[in-house]
């Protein structure tokens, strides 16, 4: 088991380096000038050269990449061109906010996704199955930024029940769970949860349908096991796959929240990415993508380990 984990950690290193390289190259081949964010339109050539030197943009690309990786290994992701603040601090704070919302969205998505999936699978062919399936298909298909806007129009602009934007009453980004903070979280988290909910529901439905047809279930029923007992066996068999899907979805939630966070002005990694792209703030953009990629890799690792713990056949294979 330990060897398996170590192997997975070692595999993660080239993945991270690849991510760093691709991200760095893509940012540098994109047209435009990163200094546009801080330079006024009529900045002189002398001033541009001075700032280019200050931010190390006058060096060759391999040199810039090597310096960036070396500093990143020491926890220094550079300084944001637009705000002049340390990128590491900015990114960690934003990722913390995204993690907060992603966990809530994942929880909602997992709970309702499993519920819909179980119901649909258990009552195959009935109206319950059809209703649950419609909900899950809608969850996967509806553009979540559109759903976010609908939520805002309904619950904020019209009903005035929940705040439309922001992260908290006083701008604090702590992990408080009281109503004053929770009300800011509900709309974006609900909006964000529809995709994992739909995907998990469809996955669980297929799993349950498959498990119910397997011989051991028929055998268990023949032995007189109650519905609850059958359900327990079903959940145990479906859990590893559902968890794997959840892990992947959590990764997507962390990285793919850019539209939701922009719609709700949620100060997370998505909004930070949006700002960085808009301002062409290269150090911030690279740092955010790197940290998000790191999270994705770590999450995958955790999910794999958890899956292996739940289903020892995986390690044996």
Partner 1 sequence: MQHAAPASSLKQPLAACAALAALAALALAAPAALAQEKTLRIAMTAADIPRTLGQPDQGFEGNRFTGIPIYDSLTQWDLSQADAPSVLIPGLATSWAVDAKDKTRWVFTLRPGVKFHDGSAFDADAVVWNVQKVLDKNAPQFDASQVGVTTSRIPTLRSARKIDDLTVELGTSEPDAFLPINLTNLFMASPAQWRKKFDAAAGATPADKAKAAWTAFAADPAGTGPFKVTRFVARERLELAASKTYWDARRVPKIGKVVLLPMPEANARTAALLGGQVDWIEAPAPDASAQITQRGFKIYANAQPHVWPWQLSFIAGSPWLDKRVRQAANLCIDRSGMKQLLGGMMAEPKGTVSPGHPWFGKPGFDIRYDPKAGQALMEQAGHSAAKPLKVKVQISASGSGQMQPLPMNEFAQQSLKQCFFDVQFDVIEWNTLSTNWRKGAKDASANGASAVNVSFSAMDPFFAMARFVSTKAFPPLSNNWGYYGNAEVDQLVADARTSFDDKARDAALARLHTHIVDDAPFVWIAHDVGPRALSPKIKNVVQPRSWFIDIATMTMD
Nearer to partner 1, 185 or 199 (CB): 185
Stretches 104-112, 163-171, 197-205, 305-313: which one binds partner 1 (CB under 8 A)? 163-171
In this chain, which of 20, 24, 87, 90 binds partner 1, going by CB under 8 A? 90
From the CB of 203, what's the least distance to partner 1, in Å?
A: 25
Nearer to partner 1, 182 or 298 (CB): 182
Q: Which ranges in the chain belong to alpha helices (H)?
A: 2-29, 45-54, 61-73, 87-122, 127-141, 144-151, 179-212, 215-222, 227-255, 258-263, 269-279, 282-310, 313-316
Contacts (CB under 8 A) with partner 1, residues 93-122: 93-94
Q: What's the Cα-to-Cα distance from 298 to each of 98, 188, 249, rounded to whole Å?
A: 16, 24, 13
The backbone torsions φ and ψ at residue 180, rounded to the nearest 5 degrees and listed phi first, read -55, -35
Q: How far apart are CA 192 and CA 107, in angstroms?
A: 11
Nearer to partner 1, 178 or 215 (CB): 178
Nearer to partner 1, 250 or 292 (CB): 292
Nearer to partner 1, 125 or 143 (CB): 143
Asked if 165 touches partner 1 (CB under 8 A), the answer is yes
Nearer to partner 1, 249 or 279 (CB): 279
Instruction: Give 53-80 as a DSSP string.
Output: HHTTTTS-HHHHHHHHHHHHHTT---B-
From the CB of 45, what's the least distance to partner 1, in Å?
A: 5
Q: State the number of binding residues for partner 1 (CB under 8 A).
A: 56
Nearer to partner 1, 11 or 161 (CB): 161
Reduced to 3 states (helix: H, G, I; strand: E, B; else coil), residue 86 is strand
Q: How far apart are CA 87 and CA 94, in angstroms?
A: 10
Which string of x and - marks every residue 268-287 that binds partner 1 (by CB under 8 A)?
A: ---xx-xx--xxx-------
Contacts (CB under 8 A) with partner 1, residues 216-275: 262-265, 267, 271-272, 274-275
Asked if 156 touches partner 1 (CB under 8 A), the answer is yes
The distance of Cα 275 from the centroid of its chain, to the nearest Å, equals 18
Contacts (CB under 8 A) with partner 1, residues 4-63: 31-33, 35-45, 47, 50-51, 54
83 and 37 in contact (C-beta within 8 Å)? no
Asked if 160 touches partner 1 (CB under 8 A), the answer is yes
Q: Which is nearest to 110 in space by CA: 253, 230, 257, 234? A: 253
From the CB of 232, what's the least distance to partner 1, in Å?
A: 15
Which residues does 196 contact at the CB level (< 8 Å), separation at least 6? 105, 106, 109, 110, 113, 245, 246, 249, 250, 252, 253
Q: How far apart are CA 106 and CA 192, in angstroms?
A: 8
From the CB of 311, what's the least distance to partner 1, in Å?
A: 31
Contacts (CB under 8 A) with partner 1, residues 180-219: 183
- Interaction site with partner 1 (CB under 8 A): 31-33, 35-45, 47, 50-51, 54, 82-85, 90, 93-94, 149, 152-153, 156-157, 160-167, 170-173, 179, 183, 262-265, 267, 271-272, 274-275, 278-280
């Amino acid at each position: 088991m330990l060897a398996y984990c170590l192997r997975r950690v070692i595999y993660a290193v080239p993945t991270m380096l690849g991510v760093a390289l691709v991200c760095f190259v893509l940012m540098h081949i994109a047209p435009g000038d990163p200094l546009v964010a801080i330079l006024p339109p009529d900045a002189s050539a002398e001033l541009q050269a001075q700032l280019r030197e200050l931010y190390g943009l006058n060096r060759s690309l391999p040199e810039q990449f090597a310096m960036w990786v070396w500093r990143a290994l020491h926890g220094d992701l550079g300084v944001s061109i637009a705000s002049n603040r340390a990128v590491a601090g900015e990114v960690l704070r934003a990722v913390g906010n995204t993690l907060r919302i992603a966990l809530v969205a994942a929880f909602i998505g997992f709970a309702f996704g499993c519920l819909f999936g179980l119901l649909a699978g258990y009552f195959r062919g009935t109206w319950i199955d059809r209703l649950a399936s419609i909900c899950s298909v809608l969850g996967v298909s509806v553009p979540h930024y559109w759903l976010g806007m609908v939520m805002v129009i309904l619950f904020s602009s019209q009903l005035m029940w929940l705040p439309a934007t922001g992260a908290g009453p006083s701008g604090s980004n702590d992990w408080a769970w009281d109503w004053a903070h929770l009300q800011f979280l509900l709309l974006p988290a609900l909006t964000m949860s529809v995709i994992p909910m739909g995907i998990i529901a469809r996955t669980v439905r297929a799993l349950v349908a498959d498990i119910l047809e397997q011989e051991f279930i028929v055998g268990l029923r023949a032995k007189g096991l109650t519905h609850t007992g059958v359900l327990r066996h079903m959940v145990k068999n479906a859990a590893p796959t559902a968890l794997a899907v959840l892990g992947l979805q959590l990764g997507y939630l962390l990285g793919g929240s850019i539209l939701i966070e922009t719609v709700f002005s949620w100060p997370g990694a998505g909004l930070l990415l949006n700002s960085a792209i808009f301002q062409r703030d290269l150090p911030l953009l690279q740092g955010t993508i790197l940290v998000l990629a790191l999270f994705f890799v770590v999450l995958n690792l955790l999910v794999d380990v958890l899956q292996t713990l739940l289903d020892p056949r995986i390690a044996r294979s």
